[in-house]
A and B are shown apart, each in its own frame.
Chain A
Amino acid sequence: MSATVNRFSRGTLYVLPIALLTFIPLAVVVGYFLSPQPEVWSHLRQYVLPRILVNTGVLMVLVAAGVLVVGVSLAWLTAICDFPGRRFFSWALMLPLAIPAYVLAFVHVGIFDFSGPLQTLAREWFGQSAFFPNVRSSTWAVSVVLTMAFYPYVYLLARNAFRTQGQRAMEAAQTLGMSRTRAFFRVAVPMARPWIIGGLTLAMMETLADFGAVAVFNYDTFTMSIYKSWFGLFNLPAAAQLASLLILFVLLLAALEQRLRGRRQYQVAYGNSPRLRLTGSARWLAFGVCAAVFAGAFLIPVIQLVIWSLQHWREGVDPRYLGFAWNSIRLALFAGVATTILALILAWVKRQHNDTTTRWLTRLSILGYAVPGSVLAVGVFIPIAWLDNHLHAIAQSLGFSSVPVLKGTLAAMLLALTVRFLAVAFQATDSAIHRVTRSQDDASRSLGLNTRQTVWRLYVPLVRPGLFAAFLLVFVDVLKEMPITLMTRSFGWDTLAVRIFQLTSESMWERAALPALFIVVVGLLPLVLLIRHSDSTLNRH
């Protein structure tokens, strides 16, 4: 209610340490961009950059085109049209979100591989000479897999936009003499543009950040080169230099989104308009398109995972899996709790103090979500290694044995994961806290309750479901996470995702299937929440 905006407040004190967690790794990486080392640069420019720049650029263009075509057309079909299976597809087409891109990648490579079921079948039918395209390190194959993994971002946002605001405007356009198709392109799509651009940006961020899928295809992008420089050539400065360039890409992308999205406005749909009832072959075409995407992006991969897991099960499961799973769960639990607590602090401070500095620091704190995991791994590792050297000297002078204090510990890994996923927890927590209105807060006080009692009797019960959602989302994200875990763990401390990386780099798809299936099943949990939520907000029509 207050119209005055202060520059500083006590809130700044609480948010500053959290913001530093994000700021230091970013500053370290950006610092490498600002102070390039000539010998590292010339090596990169000669041997690395040309290839990965072209690779990354081509991949982004292809995936952008792919997710736009697939995402927008599926959104239009399920939001505006009516055809057999529409209700099922409208939520089922979100399910691929549960499958990490690297799982989708290795399953598809496994299926199309020389020893995979398809090629084996082709050889049986047509003999050895049967032609089959090589899917490994094919740009097209990587793009198709990433499109299948990331189209749901565009689909989800575009569908909401079409459902909530496109309908009325399209009817208005039709009364003004436009055909339904023309109205779609002239009215519905431009109106949904901010959401479509938003979904596209998410998909592009994920493409830039993807490590596991391109690793399966052995397709060199920035993230791959950062890993190879660091762990293949043990050249950390080169990795950091590459990371700083990748950050530049991300910033460009964010700036581009700001330009393209325009002003996003939320509108409520009043009532429901009748759907466009598809007839004849069009109905079956619509069904076919949805079914094909659903099969390729979810059904077939899951079935294949189940088949491989069963085979592996019969041959006897590697007992170490239990240990890997326990590591994964432990890590996800810790990271989930840590991010949820930090997010709660951020959201609470944001509500209590609305000064400029606190707002900016809050934004800075959640910036980590836009930063690829491999970049964060570098950004966290370097200052921790530096700190370790100093602590090490102190420890030795005090007579302790020379073990690294922080490097390669759970703490370093947790720090990077927390920075990366704080935004996820923050968004869920913040919207939960907003469910307590100012007047409810005031009402509690006017009924004689002080701050502590208000928090306990009003905020805690109302915010609890949101906190659980925040925890669950981060839990699943950490479970799926690959580059940070891979690059900052101590040697031998493997999680399921790390194990999948190791197995797939040796083409052992069947053995990677069981951990992957576990991750997919757990990943379905928050998705169920999401689907139920979007179903209750958009009435099921």
Chain B
Amino acid sequence: MLNLDSISVAYGATPVVQNLSAELAEGEIGCLLGASGCGKTTVLRAIAGFEPLRAGEIRVGGELMASPTHMLAPQARRIGVVFQDYALFPHLSVAANIGFGLSKEPAVRRNARVIEMLDLVGLQHAAERYPHELSGGQQQRVALARALAPQPRLMLMDEPFSNLDVTLRERLAAEVRLILKRAGATAVLVTHDQREAFAVADKVGVISDGRLCQWDTPYALYHRPADRYVAGFIGEGVLLPAVRAAGNCVDCELGRLEAPGPHGAASGVEILIRPDSVMLDHDAALRARVVSRSFRGAEFLYTLQLASGRRLLALGPSRLAYEVGSDVGVRLVMEHAVAFDAAA
């Protein structure tokens, strides 16, 4: 449905997005994830038609939207956008906001569609209210309904939850996913919060410095990060030095582990150990000392020190707390390890 083929965007001489490619199938929700200033919003603006391309092509449903020589105007793309500040029109009621993009439709059809959209986002009671009379979450749903109303081929959402209360975000993220799925929309959203990305998206792209590091399912991003940046950006964990051994295996302080994947020339590697792969087990032979711990409600996150002095992160149930300084046994529970060539 959406094809980004090696696109590059620049502001003047400064490259902002470089050689980025990604694909999204009909009905899928994609998410661009990255720190602020990484270029993710620029990708979104390029898809919407607000930024010209320096190189590459953007296609929606096979139709060429943009290339360095061709640029379809935003109003001709049939791409809906939900802006970070929602950009609701303050002089129009909720219903008129939603109907704004339907002016070409006959009035009867327009009204029907507005009612349908109000239903979809659960704001039937607020049709005649004005944007400033709504809560942040309601405003966001109006923005969503307004963008969905003209039945766009693609929906774009820029940091859709950043203006909302932290406690509301996760609930609304699930709600937005439900609305988008019910409408059968293909959508791309942009965020800097991985929990939002995981809650909403089918596919997530991690962007750093204008480049796409990995475009994959949330599960794969967490368990099979493509490079060190993704490994560090998504979730928690530590890198332990290891040495390649025969048969897709590596040897490290914690023993021999299976680590499939392409082999680099170097024999020295580093492997990623996530805290959820580390089990605390009294009887395990491998010993470590608790250096610090932080309480997370359901569990504790422990920082452990191994005999070599290297550190490890581990999760433990909060009922069963180990004191700082105590000696614990450690056991690894993982299908296979992810290895990166050791840093030069």
| A positions within 8 Å CB-CB of B | 1-4, 437, 439-440, 442-450, 453, 457-458, 461-462
Contact = CB atoms under 8 A, between A and B. Distances in A.
B308 interface: no
11 contacts: A1-B45, A1-B50, A439-B83, A439-B84, A443-B147, A446-B48, A446-B80, A447-B75, A447-B100, A448-B75, A449-B101
Contact residues of B: prevailing secondary structure: loop
Given A439-B85, A440-B87, A440-B89, A450 B48 contact: no
A449 B101 CA distance: 7
Contact residues of A: prevailing secondary structure: helix
B153 to A, nearest CB: 12
Given A439-B83, A446-B48, A3 B12 contact: yes
Interface string B64-96: 000000000111111111011111111100000
B316 interface: no
B12 A448 contact: no
A462 B90 contact: yes
Nearest to B83: A439
B50 A442 contact: yes
Contacts of A3: 11-12, 14
A458 B89 contact: yes
B146 interface: yes
A539 to B, nearest CB: 16
A442 B83 contact: yes
Contact of B85 (A437, A447, A457): A437
A446 B81 contact: yes
Contact of B75 (A439, A440, A446, A458): A446
Nearest to A465: B91
B74 A461 contact: no
B147 A447 contact: yes
Given A437-B85, A439-B83, A450 B73 contact: yes
Contact of A445 (B73, B84, B104): B73
Interface string B248-270: 00000000000000000000000
Contact of A457 (B48, B51, B100, B146): B100
A140 B311 CA distance: 82
B74 A446 contact: yes
Given A1-B50, A439-B85, A443-B83, 16 more contacts: A1-B11, A439-B83, A442-B48, A442-B50, A443-B81, A445-B73, A445-B74, A446-B49, A446-B77, A447-B80, A448-B75, A448-B78, A453-B103, A457-B103, A458-B89, A462-B90
Contacts of A462: 89-91
A351 to B, nearest CB: 15
A412 to B, nearest CB: 40
A443 B91 contact: no
A453 B102 CA distance: 13
A446 B147 contact: yes
B150 interface: yes
Contacts of A449: 75, 100-101, 103
A462 B11 CA distance: 30
Given A3-B12, A442-B74, A462-B91, A448 B101 contact: yes
| Ranked 10 nearest A-B pairs via Cβ | A447-B101, A4-B12, A439-B87, A3-B11, A439-B83, A445-B74, A443-B87, A446-B81, A440-B87, A461-B91
A442 B45 CA distance: 10
A437 to B, nearest CB: 6
Contacts of A447: 75, 80, 100-101, 146-147, 150
Contacts of B85: 437, 439
A445 B87 contact: no
A326 B83 CA distance: 51
Nearest to A438: B87
Nearest to B96: A457
Nearest to A450: B75
**Interface-centre pick from A440, A453, A461 (highest chain B CB count, 10 A):** A440
A290 B73 CA distance: 60
Nearest to B90: A462
B107 to A, nearest CB: 16
Interface string B125-164: 0000000000000000000001100100000100000000
Contacts of B50: 1, 442, 445
A442 B78 CA distance: 13
A442 B79 CA distance: 12
